[in-house]
Each structure stands twice: as C-alpha cells, then as structure tokens.
Structure 1
Amino acid sequence: MGVQLHRLLPLLFLLSWPFFLRDGGRRVPVRDDLHPIVLLPGHSCSQLLARLTDDYEPAASPSCGVRKGTGWFRLWENDTALQDPALLPCYAEQLKLVFDPVARDYRDAKGVDVGVMSTNSCMKGLVAALEGIGYKDGENLFGAPYDFRYAPAPPGQPALQFSYFVSSLRLLIERASERNGNKPVILVTHSHGGINATGFLNQNAVRWRRRNVKHLVMVSTGAGGGVPMLKSVVPTTGGNRTPPTPSDVLSVSGNTGRTFGSAFMALPTPKVFGHAPLVVTQAKNYSAYDMPELLAEAGFDDEEVARYRSRVLPVVTNLFRAPIMPTTCINAVGVATVERIVYSDGDFSKEPEVVYGDGDGSINLASMVALDTVIGGDPDQEHYKSVFIPNTTHSGIITDGFALERVVTEILEANNASY
C-alpha cells in the first residue's frame, strides 16, 4: 500500500491544485472560449511530503528516525530544518537521492517515501491574473507540480520517477481537454518547469501533441543553462556549504544537492556558451566544454562527473530540439547577471570576482537568444515567438505588474491563434 500511495501521490495532487484566488474577491465567470491551461512552476514551487517507513535506518543521528511511523510531513521546503543546525543533517539525509548502479537510475533514500505536494504561493500573481480574465481552478486552470530532484534521462537510460511524471501530466492534459470540449491545452511554464515540459513533450508523439496541446508558453527559460549556477557548483564556503537556502539546492548540508538527478541541468552547455571562459583561474580557464574538469576540481567524485557526461549533457544538448510545437518564449532582460567568475589565486574556497552581463539575474541573455536559433530557427517549427521584457527579474516576470500583464497578453494571443 505504501508503494502504491507513493506512486499515486503526484497524480492526486496534480488533479487538485488548490487555487483559491479571486479578482478582488469577485468570482469571474468562466469563459467558454478559453483553452484550458496547465501550469508547470519553477522547482522551488514543487513542495515535497515524506514519510519514514520501518526500512529507514538513520545514519546522521538516531534522532533522525523520530518520525518513523508518524505519517506524512513536509520535506521540501522545510524552513525549520534549514535554519536549525541540529535538524539539518536529518533533513539532508532524507532529502538526498541514491543512484543505483544496477538499476542505472535514481531513487529515494531507503525507507523514505516522497510525494509531491502542490502549492500556488510563488505563482499566485499569475493565477490571480488568469482568474481575472475568466479562468477557474479545476475547470480550465490546472497545476502540475513535480519532484524537482528528478530529471529526464537520455534514450536507453531509465528514469522511472520522471516517467511517472510524464504519465501523470499526460493524463492531466487529456482530462483537462475533455472537460473543456476537447480543446487542446496551453502549457504555461516558469523556469525549471520549462525544462520538464520540453522533456515531457519530447516523450510524446507529434500526433498526440497536436491533438492535446495547442501551445507552449515558456517563461524564464533558456536553451543552455546559465553561468550563475556555477556559483553553486563551486561554492565559496568550500566543503562546508553553509548556510543553505531553499533557492540554492546544491548547498544543502552534506552535499545533498549533488545527489539529485537534476543537479546539473542548469549548467552552461557547450552548444550555447561554446569556448568562452566562464570560470577563470591562474592555472586554467574553464569553458562550458570543460564542465567535467571543473566539477572534478570542485570536489565532485569520478562517478558524479561520469553521470554528468552520460546522463545530463546528452539531455540538455538536445532538450529544446525543434519542432516542439507552437511556442512562445518570454524572458526578462536588463538585470545584472553573472557572466564570468574569476578566482585570481585559484582558491575555490575564497570569494571570487564576478563579471556581470545582461540577463534576468539567473539566466544569461545568450541562453535566451539561443532559443531563437534552436527552436525558432528550425524550418519545420510550426510557430515561434520570442518576447523580451526589460528591467525585471527571473521571478519578477510573473509577479511584477507590467511584466505579468505582458505574459497574460501572450497567453491570450496563443489562446486566440487559429493554427
């Protein structure tokens, strides 16, 4: 029963994301001319629940097993554990993933069952704006949270948990369409949600996509990762990696973040950043082609580096291949964004000098512009539009009034398109 519930939890929460926001307290009538929307949030929005079974054997401390048999509790984000040095080792141990070399796949730590809990806290502005034009939770507005620790794998390599996500999202999209006169849905994503959405679409046939998905609207997503992520991979606090924050999953105590299948998905890719020096030291300049060497220098072991080469790099290199489907990419620009990191004496434990360029604070402009080539430049791409919104940030694009208004305008344009 425990395994069944574990597998069902993501689907149960997918089908019941509780949007309770209204336009100024006024219920806006649901419009019958709107295509249903499925929202895929950024990774920090995907809250995780956990429960400890009898198989759980705490290694950090015997006290880590105090919740065994007590039911479900909040695993991510758990602000209490993040801020309590006594709880942090337990939190890190229960959050980590294990790579099984026999199964060639990631799994939860032994004795830890994890399920996805939905939340609208970081997309409430967008949700409110959509409800203000006639969308309604459970009728034509749905949410698809996910376990951000897992990621798609290259063809021929297993990714069981991501496959569960693909199956759940596929069912949600089909049901959302059925409830709305068989209108195909509009997928609206933010940040890492765009990576999961494209990974999902790549695993479904073109015929299914055209029947069930009208348009993909990706917000705050680049085609090749971002340089700011490197500051997490090469932390200035050395092996201690403190203090951890929810926005920096790689810095969780005990290097928990580096066990995630998604840990390196946002690193700069060679296809976009080429040979430009991204990390500079006295001994060597590291480009996107040198990520394996940089990871090794930063303390990642041979197996971790090998998994980057064999599982992550092939996925991110081909993730945004066209044609996906009619697509609109919306990104923020005009914000200082880390473009190069300089360790003048080669000591990764010290605070580096930083060179800034354009972007949204998390994604570089180069990664955004690459979407125009990777997706928009393919002659077989059905429809592509690129939108840049100035002077807002990676997260501000779905909270700031002027940016939010433009995002909703683009969603309505996709809704009204005749293709």
Structure 2
Amino acid sequence: MKIVHWMLLLLFCLSHLSDARLDFWHGKERKLKSRFNDLNPNKFSPVIFIPGCGGNKMQARLNKADVPHMWCVKNEDYFDIWLNPLQMIPGIIDCWVDNMKLSYDNVTRKTKNTPGVEFRMPQWGGVEDLEWVDTTPVIDRYDFGAYFYYISEALVNRGYARGYTLFGAPYDFRKGPNENKDWFIRLKELTEFAYNINENIGITFICHSMGGRMILYFLQQMPQEWKDKYVKQVITLSTPWGGSIQAIQAISVGYDFGAELIQNNKMKQVQETCDISLPNAVEMRKDLALFENYTAPGAELHCLYGNNVGDTVDRLEFDAAYNGNPTLVKGNGDGTVNRRSLIGCGHWEKAQSQKIYQQEYQGIEHYNMLSNAAPINYIIGKLTKDNDYPRPDEKVSYSDMMKIRLF
C-alpha cells in the first residue's frame, strides 16, 4: 500500500503557491481587526479551505518556441487552463496536454513545466477560485465547476464573510509535496493572519480529498504549542488517508474525472508525467519517501466520507505482461477512494489527546460530499450551531451527481 499513499498527490497534484498573495501587512491586518464586531459578531471560528487535486483554478501564460500542432497557440497572456472545458475538446486537448505536463530532472530532483509555459494561481487567500473551479457560465448552470461553493455560501448565509472569516489556500496540484515548501510557509502566515484579525479565535481547516493529506503533513511539521494556539479543528471530506487505487488507474489508463468531455488517453499523458510510468520513477519515489509520515495530526479531527457508492475501484488486474488495459475490480467506497482508506483517520484515536470523529454517509459520492445537505449540515453545526441547510432561499445543487470528480 505504501506506493499509493501519496499517489494522488503525484499523479496530478500538489503544490507550489502562486506569486499572488494576500496583502497581510501594510495596515490591512489592523484595518480588518478594527471591524471585528461588524464582520464576526458571533465570534465564529475562521475557516480556511484546502482543496484536493484539481480543486482550484490555475492560469497559464505562453511564450513557446514549439507546439504539437499548427493550431496550438504559442504566445498568450494568462488564461484559465484549469478548469477550462474549451481547452479539452478534441484536437485542442493536445495543446492543453503539452501546456499542462511536467518533466522531471533527476539532477535538481525537481519537476519543470514545458519550456515557455508559466503557471499561477489567480488568488491566494481568497475563496472564489475554490468555489467555482470553472467559471464558464453555461457550464456553471449544470454545476460542472462548482466546488466549495455550496459550503461557502451556506456559511456566508449564516454570518461568515469572504476575506475575513473565509479563506482559501490554492496550489499547483501537479507537483509533489517536496516542492511545496513555500505553500506551507504561506499557509502558516494565512492561519496566523486569520487568527489575529478575528481576536485570537482558533482556525477551522475544511479540506477535501487530498487536501486532508496536505493539512496532515502541515500539522505534523508544526509544534504542538502552535497548534494548540491557532487550530480549533480540522474537518476533512473524502480524504484518502491510505491512498487510492484510482491513482494507479490514472497512470495506467488515464482518469477523466468522471467527465465525458475529457478523453482518458489524453489525461494519461499529463497524469503519468506527475508520477510513475517514467524512467525516473524510482528517483521520484525517493524524493517523496520523507512524506510517508503517519504520526497523528495533534488537532481535533472530523473525518466525513461517503460509502456504498457502488463503482469504487478496489484493485486493478493486469495480464501477465502488464502491458494492456487492466480490469477494474470494483469494491466498497465513495466512487473514488475505497472505504479502508477513508476510515484511516481512526488509526490515531489512541495516538493523540485531541478527539477524532468519524461520520459515514451512505451513497454520497466522493465529490458530492461538497454539495450534499447532510455533510454541509454537519459542518455548519460545528461552526455556527445551525442545522437548517438548505433554507428555502438557498440555492442547492441541481443534482446529487456532479458532472466531474476531483481528487
């Protein structure tokens, strides 16, 4: 199982922060702090959203000498590259693959973009680019790009304020945690900033999928004294504590995130460059060995997850030569992660003094944990004491089955 523990992070994941960052200083902290009674009269715990793989917008700028096809653009200012359905139509998707893929240098032991491609996260600290990963209006009507939107909106309707008690921590999810040092530093700054402007109220991290693994590693590096001061609780949704076989599927045959628009074989060309199936796989594996850390987070933890979805990949069965499409053997879980991995947080129940809670939801899919009323009510109950979602005037998901699955 160890080979899959960080597989999702490697296959299209983790993080390097953008140059754009919240202006913590230059008087902003003092100005916001003075508005405490206006913006947080109920003294709610400030929230920081930690997305999973594919869970925040990314932009790219092009200045390329070579492209795979004559119709691919060589020069373009920053544009939405993830999630942008228009980049994934047949033919154009070859341009997208060339722009998104990474290469690995076994001398510097780092990944790098295709020459002439730069990436950035449009927001640091804000929540909008985590609420809607895709902002195409027609697509939004069908919830294709809705991510943290329903949780965020439910909290705002009950007294939270974006940019004051609601924050987000996006990252370049293609990269491994060994290239995340700057992100962890900035997350510490953001946590302390939110704590200070809210009159020293502990932070709640709300994490989806691999975002739970990100916050776990972050907390493992922080002194217990710091955690006791700044962290109130961690709420995770659909976190693969023990990895996911779907990661193996992605690098074997490609994974389309559940969207019919995206071709598996095209996604594989990007996903395999973030992980194995490369000559440098062993070296990349060595780079991540330090991140196989299973010590307790040292903070109150709420693990929410779905089960009995019916199409969870439990294992892959290859032929003897390992050179064909494997048979996908289904098992129990949330459609993306099997149950054995989802309940892994229970491993720490006797390993820390802080409480660990587990809540299982029957039939709720991996991604739908972000929009279903039951887990949203659990979240707002822990933060505002309310249990009334959705109210009559609140927009709810058009369908319990979203059109895309993000890690």
Q: Deviations over 1:209-241 (max 9, x none)?
A: 222222111111021112233222221xxxxx6
- SS of aligned partner of 1:393: coil
Aligned to 1:277: none
Matched, 1:307 2:284: yes
AA at the equivalent of 1:136: A
Is 1:84 the counterpart of 2:90 in the alignment? Answer: yes
Q: Distance in 2 between matches of 1:180 and 1:92?
A: 43
Q: Which amino acid is 2:21 matched to?
A: L
Cα shift readout 1:139-171 (whole Å, capped 9, x = no counterpart): 211111211112212xxxxx2xx1121122222
Is this contact kept in 2: 1:52–1:111, CA < 8 A? yes
2:334 maps to 1:360: yes
Distance across 1 between alignment mates of 2:284 and 2:320: 29
Residue in 1 that maps onto 2:142: none
Distance change >3 Å, CA 325–CA 207, structure 1 → 2: same
Alpha-carbon separation, structure 1, partners of 2:115 and 2:377 = 46
Between the two proteins, the alignment pairs up a number of residues equal to: 336
Moved more, 201-210 or 386-395: 201-210
Q: Structure 1 376/107 Cα, relative in aligned 2: closer, same or farther at 3 Å?
A: farther
Deviation by residue 1:365-406 (Cα, 9 ceiling, x = unmatched): 111222211x2231x342211221222111111211223212
Structure 2 residue aligned with 1:377, among 350, 355, 368?
Answer: 350
Secondary structure, counterpart of 1:110 in structure 2: coil
Percent sequence identity is 22
Per-residue deviation, 1:345: 7.1
1:11-410 to structure 2, matched below 5 A, reads: 11-12=21-22, 30-53=40-63, 56-61=64-69, 64-66=72-74, 68=75, 70-85=76-91, 87-117=92-122, 118-121=129-132, 122-153=147-178, 159=179, 162-235=180-253, 251-252=265-266, 255-260=269-274, 263=275, 300-308=277-285, 310-315=286-291, 317-318=292-293, 320-336=294-310, 337-343=312-318, 348-350=323-325, 352=327, 354-373=328-347, 375-378=348-351, 380-410=352-382
Q: Residues 246 and 336 of structure 2 are in contact (CA less than 8 Å); yes or no, is this contact kept in structure 1?
A: yes
**1:76 and 1:345, CA in 2 relative to 1: closer, same or farther beyond 3 A?**
same
Structure 1 letter corresponding to 2:314:
E
Change (3 A) 1:327 1:244: closer
1:49 and 1:114 in contact (8 A); partners too: yes
- In the aligned structure 1, how far is the partner of 2:237 from the partner of 2:216? 13
In the alignment, structure 2 segments of 5+ residues that lack a partner are: 1-15, 26-37, 123-128, 133-146, 386-407
Structure 1: tracts of 5 or more residues without a match: 1-5, 16-27, 154-158, 236-240, 264-294, 414-419
Contact 1:229 1:362 in 2 (8 A): no
8 A Cα contact 2:94 2:266, kept in partner: no
- How far apart, in 2, do the equivalents of 1:347 and 1:233 lie? 13
Give the CA deviation at 1:246.
6.8
TM-superposed deviation, 1:313? 4.9
Name the amino acid aligned to 1:203.
Q
Please tell me whether the aligned partners of residues 139 and 176 of structure 1 are also in contact (alpha carbons under 8 angstroms).
yes
The 8 Å contact of residues 222 and 371 in structure 1, kept in 2 or not, is answered as no
- Relative to 1, partners in 2 of residues 1:98 and 1:356: Cα closer, same or farther, differing over 3 Å? closer
State the SS of the aligned residue for 2:361.
strand
Letter in 1 for 2:221: Q
- Displacement of 1:357 in angstroms is 2.3
Contact 1:249 1:257 in 2 (8 A): no
Q: Name the SS for the 2:228 alignment partner.
A: helix
Question: Residue type matched to 2:360 in 1?
Answer: F
Identify the range of structure 1 (199-208 vs 322-331) with the bigger mean alpha-carbon deviation.
Answer: 199-208
CA distance in 2, matches of 1:402, 1:350: 37
Q: 1:243 to 1:42 in 2, by over 3 A?
A: closer
> What's the offset of the Cα at 1:72?
0.9
Q: 1:388 to 1:14 in 2, by over 3 A?
A: farther
Distance 2:24 2:49 in 1: 10
Distance between the aligned counterparts of 1:142 and 1:388, measured in 2? 26
Q: Deviations over 1:290-344 (max 9, x none)?
A: xxxxx6xxxx133124423x134542x31x4214322111111122222233346
How far apart, CA to CA, are the structure 1 residues paired with 2:173 and 2:299?
24
**Aligned residues of 2:306 and 2:360 also touching (Cα < 8 A):** yes
TM-score (norm 1): 0.71
> For residue 238 of structure 1, what is the aligned residue in structure 2?
none
AA aligned to 2:248 is L
SS in 1 for 2:21: helix
Work out whether residues 44 and 383 of structure 2, in 8 Å CA contact, stay in contact via their aligned partners in 1: no
Aligned-pair Cα RMSD in Å: 3.1
The verdict on how the C-alpha distance between 1:29 and 1:205 changes in structure 2, with shifts beyond 3 A counting, is closer
- How far off its partner does 1:175 sit? 1.2
Distance 1:400 1:226, change over 3 A: same
Contact 2:50 2:206 in 1 (8 A): yes
- In structure 2, give the amino acid aligned to 1:402: A
Deviation, structure 1 residue 208: 2.3
CA-CA distance at 1:134 after TM superposition: 1.3
- C-alpha separation between the residues in 2 aligned to 1:36 and 1:397? 21
d(CA) in 2 for partners of 1:60, 1:192: 32
